[in-house]
Structure formats: structure tokens, C-alpha cells
Structure 1
Amino acid sequence: MTTAATALSGVIPPVCTPLTPDYEVDKGSLIRLVDHLMDGGVDGLFILGSSSEVAFLPDGHRKVVLDTVINHVGGQVPVLAGVIDMTALRVLDHVRTAVEAGADALVATAPFYTRTHPNEIAWHFKAISAQAGVPVYAYDLPVSVHSKLTADLLLELAAEGVLAGLKDSSGDEGGFRQVLLGRRDRDLPGFAVFTGSELTVDSALWMGADGVVPGLGNVDPHGYVRLYQHARAGDWVAARTEQERLFRLFGLVAVGGPHMGRSSSALGAFKAALHLRGVIDHPTTALPQIPLDADEVARVGKFLADAALL
């Protein structure tokens, strides 16, 4: 991929947000993380997404992340900015901030908290697109927003020029394939479709997906880039082998066990891994997430060692 004006493809990790022990954005660690990802050969960066802890970050923190990453990247790769919030007027505030900061594209979920009709979801995305002036990507995340973005809705908005693409984190493989088939049937080649599942990237690419937005890509960007390159070269055995290595590495997200939420465990494990790899200074996660203890961090280290990352 080259610029945000063309259809995106490849590996676009959702960038973690390093924090100091007192919960401020650690700008130095964030810059090192961006360099780590770019050294891994990624095709773009997605800031202020789920793995960025966007739901936990005050607006001031979001602005620091936007300015730090966009200024440091300097146009070397496209930067997609999450503008995720409950309803359209709140989202439009984030749109203005992200566009003024220089984001190449925006990523938004359906509205949430309120009960929302599909017609209102469509209006939500149309309002975002009308103001943005840059490409808008839909983020299908029903586990968090409690609305599933249907293939028909997505493809209709794509045909109208409202949406430039999709990050699918729905877990609905049938629905994902329906989007891919509908894109082909309606002749919408510019509508980019990404999987958000770290564990089935080889399958998604084989079905025709354009790329992946992997949270685990923070920890091992090189692995996801190799996987993507193998798939694009048609070497599906090598792609499967790399996917299986990453599948095993993904086990680190469960080290928190039953005494914390899965989000706390996964994001804590990603940050612990980045800290152990010397990329970020602190593995702090935002309140009220429960931090990993020393034994859990040691287990993360074992996963890294098994994956030849330490």
C-alpha cells in the first residue's frame, strides 16, 4: 500500500498506548513502539483503537497520542485514528481533533449505550463521513457496542462512498465472508476488508481479505508481516506455519486467569511483553484494569521465549 487515497492492505496493528505509573501517556515509549512496528515492516498504524485502550483514555490523552504518533511518523505510513464514542455528536468532536492533527483516515464503531436502529447506524456513519474529509472505516465490534454491522448495511454505505473499508472483529466468520462475496458481486474493489482476528489471518486472506489489524502485532509485528507476505506470494503452507506460531504466542492473553477481565489480561500481557522486550518503560494499564502480578509477567516471558522473541 502507498497512501490513504488508495485502498489499504497489509498489516495495520492497533497501537498500544504506553502509560506512566501515574497514568499519563508515556510519549517516549510510544515513539519507541511506533519505531518497533515500522521496523517490523507494517503497512500502517491504527491508533486509538481497542488495543490502544481508547475506551479508558480521557480526551487529553487521546490528543497526546494523535500528535505524538502523527508527528513522529511524518507520512511514512498512513495513520488511522479511532474516533470511537457513544453517539454521533461526541464522535464528531473526535473527528475534528483527529483531522486537525493530520490523521490519514478515521475508524468508527456503531453508536453504543443507547439502543440503535440500523437506519440510525447508517445516519451515524454518514454524519462522520460528511464531516471527515478523509476515508472512514467501520469497526464491527458487537461484543462492545452491542450492534452487528450487517453485510448489506456495510456494502450499501460503501457503494454510496460513505465507507472506505471495514475492520471486522465480530467473530462472525460467515458474516465476514458475506461481506467479501458482496464486495465482489457489487464490484466494490476499493472497499478494503480487514480481519481483526489474530488467530485466523491465513484463512481470512485466503478468503480474500485485504489484511489484518492484529493486537498481538504490537508484540510481534515481524511475524504478522511474514504471514501476510507468505499469503500474498501464495505460499499457504508457510503462511499456516507462521499463523500456528502466532496462535501459540497468543496464549499469553490468558495469563491473568479468572481474577480479572479478559481485556485486563490481554492488554496487560501485550504491555508486559513490550516491556520485557525493552520497547516500553512501564507495563501500566489504565484504571480500573487490574495489573498482572510478577508470576503472570513471568508467564508472559515464557511465551515470548517459546516464540524466540526474547
Structure 2
Amino acid sequence: MTDSTQDDDRTGGVAAAAPAPSGGATPAAGAAPAGGARVPLPQSGVIVPLVTPLLPDRSVDAASAATLVEHVLSAGVDGVLALGSTGESGALSAADREASVAATVAAVGRRAHVMAGLPAMGTADAVADARRWEALGADSLLLAAPFVFPPSQTELVEHFGAVADAVGIPLVAYDVPGRAHVALSPGLLAQLAADGAIAGVKDSTNVLSNAQGVLAATAQVPGFVRATGSEESIDGLLLSGYDIAVPGLANVLPGLHVALARHARAGEWEQAAARQREIAGLLGLYAAPLAGATPTTAFFAAVKEALRQRGVIEHATLSAPFAQPDEAVAEHVRAWLARVG
């Protein structure tokens, strides 16, 4: 990360002005957007990685996005993530990514934290999107390593530093080697945190030894937030010292995940473990029998179809080129919902 005279407090420092996403006046980076002060990054609890509701023409369904937000907020979640992997972020057009962030921010209305993902192929695109999402009112940003060309750990310092220097809101590192094809080492995360470039990490490695390395490397960083996307072991990771769960199933059953997090926060580990066992028994939802689809597509199809059948969103449409949910998926979801009750 290059030297900078900029204030390293990413929650309120002054940075380069962001271009307005749709014309008009541009707020200064880090400034609170219209509608109230930004909501701080949660230090514990549940952030839901929202699906992106789409209309049959595959454009963003803002009305369904609003009802989805109400569905999860009413369960008491601490925040939402727009444009995470669960939101099909890498498959959406640039215009639809912007529409998704705008719809989410508008629906939340400063009642909870809004994190927005940066599924960029390179640093320049990540910086541009970071400024747009900040101007739209996102409270924090989630940044993975660049796609296509896996960088070295040294090059990742430059990548994360450039995005952090461009905005005035917190940046969270997204460690998702299954998609970015490069891991963020615990040492790298500790360096970025010490530099003031990142405020936390979303660990989607599903590797327990990596989680222990992250905990050890960042133990002395005040306020550093550790979030897990490993749905099978939320309770264990919270017990170890992680702070936040970011589970895809919380789109459908947010209350169950809120209960687990609250038990963990209270040190009620037997109760937390019981909720975790319930969650583990429900992950079969993802195994939808969608012909010609990958497991990732089946996941999207099952979660969206479950939300459609529950009346939360209007359509279960997936973005191109994913296979669309069919009657086999609908039947799988109906049976699953019948078991859930």
C-alpha cells in the first residue's frame, strides 16, 4: 500500500470524491448520504448475503428486493450484503449491479448495516465500483482478490490499498479462494489491518485451520471483525472467536440464524449448538435436482424458489447463463418447506 496523508479511519476519513452514479451532485467520500448517518459495521451477529431478485426479463426486481429486506430485517438481523456470491454478483451486468445496490440501500433505509460487494476483475474496476457504491449509500464494501489473473500476496497489498484509499467507508476482505483462485493469507490480512486498509474479513475458505490462523494473526487488531460464510460450523467458529455469520440460508430462515448468534453472544453454547444442528439438517435445500446445472446454479435456484414459494419474492428467475428453476426444483423445495413447517 502506498503512503498517503489520508486519514486511515475508513468510517469517516476524507478521500477522493466519488462520481455520481446517475448524474447530479456527488457526495464527498465517507459523507453520510441522504436519509441519515451511515450504520457502523456490526461487531457481532448476522449479515444476510441477499439473493438478487430478478424479473422474468432478468432485470433487477426492486419491489421484491424491498420485501426480501423486510423479511430478513423483521427477524432481527444486523445487516445485509448486496452483491455477495449469493447475489449472483459476477453474473449481473454493471447496470444491474448498480440497481441492486441502490434498491437494497433504499429498502434498508438506515435501519441496519448495508455491505456491498465488489466482484471486479481488476483494481481499476474495483475502485470505480467502490466509489459508486459509497455514493449510493453503502455502509461498507466487500472486496475479493481480482478474478482471472491471481495476484501474489504482495500485489494484493496494492489491490486492497488502492480501493481503501479511494473511499471513506470500511473495506472488508473477502477470502474466497474457490472463486478468486487465490487465498488471502493470515499474514496478509494482519498487514492490511495494520495499514488501516481493511476493517475485517469474510472467511469463505471452509478450512478450520485457516480460521485459527486468521484469529491468531489479527488477535491484537482493535475492532477487527471476523465473519464466516461456513454454514456447517457457525457455532464452532463463533466459539473460537469469530464475530459474524454470513449464511446463505438466512435468506429463507433468518430467525434461526439470529437465534444461534444470540445464544453464542450470551455464551449459551449448548443452545447455539442445537440451532447449528437444525441448520445443518436444512442444508439439503441446496441439493435441488436441476438438470444441466452446476451445484452453484442449483443453490441459487433452490433459495430463490423457496423465497418465491414463501411469498417473499415474486419470481425465481436466475441471471444468464444459469439454467432456470423447473418443476423438479419446485417440488424439491415444496417438500423441504413441508419439513421445515
Common fold: TM-score over 0.5: yes
Match of 1:146 in 2: 181
Instruction: Give yes or no for the alignment of 1:196 onto 2:246.
Output: no
Instruction: Give yes or no for the alignment of 1:299 onto 2:324.
Output: no
Q: How big is each residue's C-alpha offset from its partner over 1:225-269, in whole Å with a ceiling of 9 and x where there is no partner?
A: 001011112221211111111111111111136731011000110
Change (3 A) 1:74 1:277: same
Instruction: Give yes or no for the alignment of 1:133 onto 2:135.
Output: no
| Paired residues of 1:27 and 1:68 also in contact (CA < 8 A) | yes
Match of 2:132 in 1: 97
Match of 2:217 in 1: 182
Match for 1:259: what amino acid? G
| Paired residues of 2:288 and 2:298 also in contact (CA < 8 A) | yes
Match of 2:322 in 1: 289
| Paired residues of 1:3 and 1:77 also in contact (CA < 8 A) | no
Match of 1:30 in 2: 65
Identify the range of structure 1 (201-210 vs 66-75) with the bigger mean alpha-carbon deviation. 66-75
Match for 1:282: what amino acid? H
Deviation at 1:8, TM superposition (A): 3.0
Match of 2:306 in 1: 273
Match for 2:141: what amino acid? L
Match of 1:205 in 2: 238
Match for 1:82: what amino acid? G
Structure (1/2) with the larger helix percentage: 1
Q: Distance in 1 between matches of 2:244 and 2:150?
A: 31
Q: Name stretches of at least 5 consecutive residues in structure 1 with no aligned partner.
A: none
Q: Distance in 1 between matches of 2:56 and 2:116?
A: 25
Q: Distance in 2 between matches of 1:258 and 1:189?
A: 48
Match of 2:94 in 1: 59
| Paired residues of 1:256 and 1:264 also in contact (CA < 8 A) | no
| Paired residues of 2:290 and 2:326 also in contact (CA < 8 A) | no
Deviation at 1:3, TM superposition (A): 6.5
Match of 2:252 in 1: 219
Identify the range of structure 1 (24-33 vs 299-308) with the bigger mean alpha-carbon deviation. 299-308
Match of 2:294 in 1: 261
Q: Name stretches of at least 5 consecutive residues in structure 2 with no aligned partner.
A: 1-36
Match of 2:117 in 1: 82
Instruction: Give yes or no for the alignment of 1:8 onto 2:23.
Output: no
Q: Distance in 2 between matches of 1:145 and 1:257?
A: 25
Deviation at 1:72, TM superposition (A): 2.1
Q: Distance in 2 between matches of 1:172 and 1:251?
A: 21
Match of 2:268 in 1: 235
Sequence identity, in percent? 37
Match of 1:106 in 2: 141
Deviation at 1:6, TM superposition (A): 5.4
| Paired residues of 2:288 and 2:301 also in contact (CA < 8 A) | no
Match for 2:225: what amino acid? A
Instruction: Give yes or no for the alignment of 1:244 onto 2:277.
Output: yes
TM-score, length basis structure 1: 0.95
| Paired residues of 1:6 and 1:190 also in contact (CA < 8 A) | no
Change (3 A) 1:296 1:71: closer
Q: Distance in 2 between matches of 1:231 and 1:258?
A: 39
- Secondary structure of the corresponding residue to residue 79 of structure 1: strand
